[in-house]
Structure 1
Amino acid sequence: MTWIDMMIIIIYFAILVVVGIIGTIKAKTSEIYILAGRNLGVFMLFGCLTAVFLGGSSTIGSAQLGYEIGFSGVWFVFSMGLGITLFGIFLLKKVTGYKLMTISELLGKLFNVESKLIGAVIAAIYALMVSVTQVIAIGALLSAIFDWNLVFSMLIGGGVVFFYTILGGMWSVSMTDIIQFLIMTAGIFLIMLPTSLSKVGGFAELTAQLPSSYFDFSAIGFKEIIQYLLTFTLGMMVGQDIWQRYFTAKNLKTARTGGILVGVYSLLYSLAMVIIGMCALIVLPSIENTQNVFTSMAFETLPTGLLGIVFAAVAAAIMSTASGTLLASSTLITKDILKDHFFKDISDRQFLLLSRVTTLVIGIVAIVIALWIQELLVAIDVAYALLAGSIFIPIVFGLFWKRATAKAAFYSIVISAVVVLAGLAIEGLSSSNPILYGIAVNIIVMIVVSMMDRTNKLEEVQTNETMDA
């Protein structure tokens, strides 16, 4: 890294700080702070939705999968984009009629306060754990770039992200997401991908030097593909960070169009990252730690200036996810736990202050956990598994099955969450079976308890009618 590359990254960070300061002025109401005033157009929404899920694991992880297995590594990121698109097509119209801010708020309107509370807790934990992994990722990136201590790097990187998020909320997050989206797109598609292909002699040379299995989209096996779809597609469909972005759209048509574009972009982005990883296998065939594939390839192929832009793109990918999930966790805790149960009669101005304070506290907690762990664990997979396995089915049943009851929703969330966690503990954190167990238990409990409730209510009505007669 030369001083030019470092200055590019420093300037980028400075711009994000300025946006945060401006956000303090712009975010004068809770709706602007949490949902950016619900007035984003197609391009803004598309950029925000894309930026929130293309984080450190999506970028660095996809290049690693390309290095290890080739095209079948596409499923990792594409399954996330697919979840966002499917939510926009199949669930968004039903959901937007409720004028929501949070996913657990929907559980409350469909069922009861207990379901809303347990849903808020699970969704908030999921969002917090995603933020933690992104703090670790940005720390690792800054440590590699500037040769800083990892702890100091996490404090700086996490501090910048949380600074603009705390001050400006969704307004600042939306503005920075667009900046980050543009940098990510330019850095990957216009610089890193063509440079990597040029280094190996073009795509034809890539096909000539790598095994045919590297060009097979199903090489990882049907079971692994299903695991990606269950974990990430369903997880994205019930992620507060995704819903919160969708709710910023000015109308339903805008939201759906943005969601469809995300699915297309996720496929193109994952293909680009996988190809970069495949190129790295030819250029650098003996990388010991494959998590370093992307950064090693960047150092190997990019000249001064372009290297700074590409690393700024990686930082953008990480920071956009961190800010979105931090705000998602804070919103769930502020609105559906603190306001509903402890600060019921506060004004909008007081609620805005409470939101900022909660975001600050959650940000500190995320950094503390990141400093404690200091390595990217499979906690993110656990968080997605818990979210998809326990919340997806009650929401779908509540929206499309009129016989679903509040008691059934509450017990299905609690029992399926226990089943998912127990399954992961018994079979291992990398197993996809616990998600299947959780979904199966969820469906059974929802149907059985709902039918029992209906039967009991019918018997009560008949008993009352008999007594009246």
Structure 2
Amino acid sequence: MSEAIKPSPGPFYAVLIFYLGIMAFIGWYASRKTKSLGDFFVLSGKAGVLVSGIAYFSTQFSMGTFLGTPGTIFGVGYAGMAISVPGAVFSMILPALLIGKKLVTLGHEYGFLTMADYLSDRYHSKSMSGVLGIMMLFFLIPMMGAQIIGAGVIVHVFTGLPEWVGVVGMGTIVILYCMTGGMKGAMMTDVIQGTLMFGTAIVTFIVSISMGGGFHNINNTLQGMNEAYLTFPGANGYMPWAYFVSNIVLWSFFTMGQPHLFTKFFTMKDHKTMFKAILLGTAGMFVSATLIEWAGVNGIASIQNIAKADQIVPMILQRGLNPFLASIFISGIVAAGMSTIDGILVTTTGAVTRDIYQKVINKKATDESVMKLSKVVTILIGIIVILFGVFQPGSIFEINLFAFSGMAIFVVPILFGMYWKKSTAPGAIAAVVVGVITLLCFTLIPSVKALAFGFHALFPATILGGITMVIVSSFTQAPPEETIRRHFDVFKKNNNAIGKKEAA
């Protein structure tokens, strides 16, 4: 155990057990209100402004935001805040403007429940369901694993127990309320978790300033330690301009490819709800990201001898507050992980049960049988995630970034599907395959990575994926005209209906 860690297990257990008990109760309550597959996966498209805005914000933010990113910034300085703060401003705005309004309309019109529902219908191809389902398992299980690793870090800092204890405990609770309540349970808990996350960001920031002796003293200390902490590109040259631009685009534009965020638009009641939710969610994301990441910078001046950089935010709360208050606000970080896991777990369960089983393996499966299977699959995926968290193949930030990047490739078939009528299923599948291979090559092979000129591997992956989509679609058969009309004429009908309503 690091000398910097001074466990306070009593207050921590009391607060955390109470908090997790509330989450479990919500899961039980939600299960009584979950009557259909639509309820389970997208809340039957009835989510209002408060639930939609906070749920999107809390699902987008994760252990990566509250542990992994401040931990990375702890070794970089102010320049590290560019990891997600600029992108956070646009992370709900861009998806809403480019695809959100269309998804709300399509979801209500055709009853879409998952990203694969949309893609397989748009491209008139059941193969899309299988491709997306496999991709989600490959990339989203690590993304959930990154969140659950954070629970282990928190439990270790506050109790001194091994990290696997927190991993297993958090994983079990999330499995229970997602298995019973589906998306209703996930979104109801997201409201509580999002509020906690917001409060935790504010309190951690204030405490970090107090511990460092104020802004002036913090900056003087940082300058004495390493002037690079105060300037771009930061310590060790971490944030050159190309990587800075990459992060802005990565955490805003590419959120459209994340299935757990994509499906949030299917849950929204209408377009007016969506735009109000954007304002609420954007404000929450910008304030929370700015303050929690800034706390990581402030922590450089006041905390040393830290065993693992991911511990910086828990250490600030532990050392700057009394044990009970620290435990309350540390629940906000637990909330960040849980809110991301629950959204991804329900979405990944949908990928297995609907996108692979119901659409590919057993096309005659009833919704009732899929509901029953979903509970079993939720348990199985949850167990795999727990094992991933126990073995910890990398840092929270590294794992989260890898998983996010993998799913981001689906931005290509999504945007082409919505804006180019001639895009085809073979083109979409080829674009995803080429994009993922390119992403892996530019990430894992140093000589290839150099060809990106400092930009994130997603840039060349997306460009090559887009080129592949155009070439393959130009030489393959487009979906039936009826399918194209279903996906493009529906917006004309919707606009006409709105116009008549306003005229009346």
Matched, 1:18 2:18: no
Task: Give, in angstroms, the shift of residue 12 of structure 1.
Answer: 0.7
1:150 aligned residue (163, 176, 182): 163
Deviation (angstroms), 1:59: 0.5
- CA–CA distance in 1 between the matches of 2:422 and 2:229? 48
Quote the residue 2:401 is aligned against. 381
Residue 415 of structure 1 corresponds to 434
Counterparts of 1:127 and 1:251 in 2: how far apart (Å)?
A: 28
In the alignment, which of 302, 305, 314 is matched to residue 321 of structure 2? 302
Q: Is 1:98 the equivalent of 2:106?
A: yes
Equivalences for 1:235-274 in 2 at 5 Å? 235-274=254-293
Q: Which residue in the other structure is 2:51 paired with?
A: 44
Q: Distance in 1 between matches of 2:448 and 2:339?
A: 26
Question: What amino acid maps onto 1:278 in structure 2?
Answer: V
Q: Is 1:447 aligned to 2:470, yes or no? A: yes
Question: Do 1:187 and 1:310's aligned partners in 2 also have CA atoms closer than 8 Å?
Answer: yes
Deviation of the 1:387 alpha carbon: 1.9
The residue type equivalent to 2:318 in the other structure is F
Q: Distance in 2 between matches of 1:452 and 1:306?
A: 63
For each residue in 1:48-79, what CA deviation from the matched residue of structure 2 results, as whole angstroms up to 9, or x when unmatched?
11111221111112322443333333333332
For normalisation by structure 2, the TM-score amounts to 0.83
Match of 1:206 among 218, 240, 248: 218
Q: Structure 1: which 4+ aligned runs deviate by more than 6 Å?
A: 428-431
| Residue from 133, 144, 168 that aligns with 2:181 | 168
RMSD: 2.6
Q: How does 1:285-296 map to 2 (within 5 A)?
A: 285-287=304-306, 289-296=308-315
Residues 1:434 and 2:457 are matched in the alignment: yes
The whole-number CA distance in structure 1 between the counterparts of 2:275 and 2:80 is 27
In structure 2, do the counterparts of structure 1 residues 45 and 429 end up closer, same or farther at CA, with 3 Å as the change threshold? farther
Structure 2, unaligned runs of 5 or more = 1-7, 481-504
Q: Tell me which amino acid in the other structure corresponds to 1:83.
A: S
Q: Is 1:403 matched up with 2:422?
A: yes
8 A Cα contact 2:104 2:268, kept in partner: no
Offset of residue 373 of structure 1: 3.3
**In the alignment, is residue 197 of structure 1 matched against residue 209 of structure 2?**
yes
Taking a change above 3 Å as real, the CA distance of residues 151 and 374 of structure 1, as seen in their structure-2 partners, is: farther
Q: Which 10-residue stretch deviates more, 319-328 or 112-121?
A: 112-121
Shift of 1:339: 0.7
Give the whole-Å Cα distance in 1 for the aligned partners of 2:473 and 2:158.
Answer: 56
Q: CA deviation at 1:24?
A: 2.1
How far apart are residue 89 of structure 1 and its match?
Answer: 1.6
Query: 1:462 corresponds to which residue?
Result: none
TM-superposed CA distance for 1:164, in Å, is: 0.9
Structure 1 position 452, deviation (Å): 2.8
Deviates further, 117-126 or 4-13: 117-126
Q: Which whole-Å deviations, capped at 9, do the CAs of 1:351-394 have from their partners, x for residues lacking one?
A: 22122222122112212232233653633322222222x32112
For 2:186, the aligned partner's letter is V
Once the two structures are superposed, residues 376-432 of structure 1 have per-residue CA deviations (whole angstroms, 9 ceiling, x without a partner) of 3633322222222x3211211111112222222222222222222233231399985
Q: Distance in 2 between matches of 1:180 and 1:428?
A: 43
Q: Give deviations 1:195-242, integer Å, cap 9, x for gaps.
A: 222233333443444447656577522121233235433431111110
Matches of 1:429 and 1:46, distance apart in 2: 40
Q: Among 93, 116, 131, which residue is 1:85 paired with?
A: 93
Measure how far apart 1:108 and its partner are: 1.1
Q: Deviations over 1:250-309 (max 9, x none)?
A: 112212321343233222112211221222222224545322211222222112321111
Checking the alignment, whether the CA contact within 8 Å between 1:232 and 1:384 is kept in structure 2 is no
Amino acid at match of 2:218: L
How far apart are the structure 2 equivalents of 1:374 and 1:434?
Answer: 21
TM-score, normalisation: structure 1: 0.89
2:103, 2:265 within 8 Å by CA — same for their partners in 1?
no
Does 2:194 align with 1:181?
A: yes
Task: Specify the alignment match of 1:35 in structure 2.
Answer: 42
Say if 1:262 and 1:70 are closer, same or farther in 2 by CA, change over 3 A: farther
Is 1:125 paired with 2:138?
yes
Aligned equivalents of 2:366 and 2:475: distance in 1?
Answer: 42
Amino acid at match of 2:93: T
Structure-2 separation of matches of 1:429 and 1:140: 34
Report what 2:64 is aligned to.
Answer: 57
Match of 2:91, SS?
helix
What stretches of structure 1 of length at least 5 have no aligned partner? Answer: 458-469
Letter in 1 for 2:97: I
What is the match of residue 277 of structure 1? Answer: 296
Amino acid of the structure 1 residue aligned with 2:157: A
Maintained 8 Å contact 2:142/2:400: yes
Q: Is the 8 A contact 1:154 1:367 kept in 2?
A: yes
- 8 Å CA contact 2:198–2:284 kept in 1: the answer is no
The aligned counterpart of 2:484 is: none
Question: 2:81 touches 2:294 (CA, 8 Å); kept in 1?
Answer: no
Q: What's the counterpart of residue 225 of structure 1?
A: 244
Greater mean deviation of Cα atoms: 265-274 or 142-151: 142-151
